[in-house]
Structure 1
Amino acid sequence: MSAPELTSLLWADILFKKVFPRLTMTDLFNLRAASRKCREMVEAYFVEMPVLSLSPYAHKFPRHHFAVLARCCSNLREVKLAGCDFLTTSLLSELFSRNHKITTLILDKTTNLESSCLQHVIIDCKNLKVLRLSECVWVTVGCLDALTLHHQSLEEVDLSYCTAVSSHHSLNFFLSKLPKLRSLRLGGLLCLDSTLSMVLTFCRELEMLDLSHGQSSSERVKELIEGLPKLKYVDLRSHTFLDSKYTKEGLKILGWKRNKIIVLTNLTYEHQWTIRIALPF
């Protein structure tokens, strides 16, 4: 099909719903370059596009292409940019300034950013449910305080290896404001007794807890296993206990008795599928 024949089809009812969602981002930008009409059509699709996922192109997506997306996209619900090294604070801020309906934001392993890039998300995206910032060393205590003030309906949070907020009282306050939280990842962080106590007291809907490669009190972990009624999965891989009251194997047995999965080592393929079935998110 030629470009004129393609652009003659109904854009909204056929192309935008049936065809373009099946194309890769590379395909879309190649089509955009075919003609002036194709450019108009693809950019019109970007305006309506609900999901932006660039993680597959993390190290090879042209920055000027992202600038086009930042300028055009205004209806995004899910933004998945894990590992995208090409991102800058200014480009990301421009994207977020036009998209106030974001419910899922994944920025894991983005390195060249500043916490100010989240300003529009924090203030304007009132329906944010999923926030993943694993290994984002640019996340600051001030950023966490702002999230605490504006977002108390989060259901999934990943702050693994966000070292600036490790063992800080702001983390405790943040967790105390998340009664709907279902999944919490704090891998690589020092979790004080007060932090885990906040989880036990306020995060009663929690189903998944990741403490891998971190440090905490074994007694507090035991209290979580016993005290959170919906908790199904606890990741303790390479976790260090700061006391010797309980062993990892002992906690694993305790979890087994309570129908909870306690992970101590790397998972086999079969175990991964078991957990995937138990935890649909």
Structure 2
Amino acid sequence: MRAGWSRGIIELRHMLSTPQDLWTFFFFTAILLAVTIFMRGSTVEGTSFSLGSMTLPSILGMSIASGGLTNLTQMLTVEREDGTLLRAKAVPDGMLGYLVGKVVLVSGLTLVNIAALLIPGLFLFSGIATGGVGSWLTFAWVLALGLAACLPLGAILGSMFSNPRMMGLIMFPIMGAVGISGIFYPTSALPEWLQGIAQVLPIYWLGLGMRSALLPDGLSAVEIGHSWRHLETLGVLGLWAAFGLTVAPIVLRRMARRESGSSVAARREKAMQRVT
């Protein structure tokens, strides 16, 4: 555990001090901020509240899900191909240390990303309610439970794919889930069957939880059920966390058992053939 913590901090510091990684990281953040700025002139249907101000907390929820589902999946597939996982497997308790390191790294990147969105957003958008202790408590438990729900799912997905070029198979469903989860437009305006699908997914509840933490109580009127539904948010994210934490160790152990020098060499040869 200590080695994993140290590994995660070192990798986080390395990423945040590498210009290329910083550019990739903050470019996407800048795009999201630009999108919300363009939405400031529109209002939430039936209210005078800025759609941009409502979208910002939703994007924070999406960023939590993206960190766990996308970043961790990509890291596992890349480092499975280049042999990093095999080297970790060769060390006593190396897989545990490796996974702890990735959890620390992805969680740290997620916190940096949220800060990069929220801090300028407080100056750019009006109506963000961050003055009360209750808002920050809700923000904290939604963030913690969201990471607990999404990080194991990312580990499961990363264990299923050995080729990082297959990330499109993961990205397209995630993009579809974002589209129906109320991140950029209220889910209550969608057909009921899409609302039902959205409410099964953690992305919807992370967006709702962040909106409940950072928006005025009156905005709950545009949500499904005209409520922030904190108990339902706690329950659904908790179920996803329980599922992921139960299944992820099983899947990861099976994946680690299949790793060998010959399998890594075969993947490297295929990758070289694609490059040439």
Larger strand proportion of the pair: 1
| TM-score normalised by L of structure 2 | 0.25
Larger helix proportion of the pair: 2
| TM-score normalised by L of structure 1 | 0.25
Greater RCO, CA 8 A, separation 6+: 2
- Higher CA-based Rg: 1
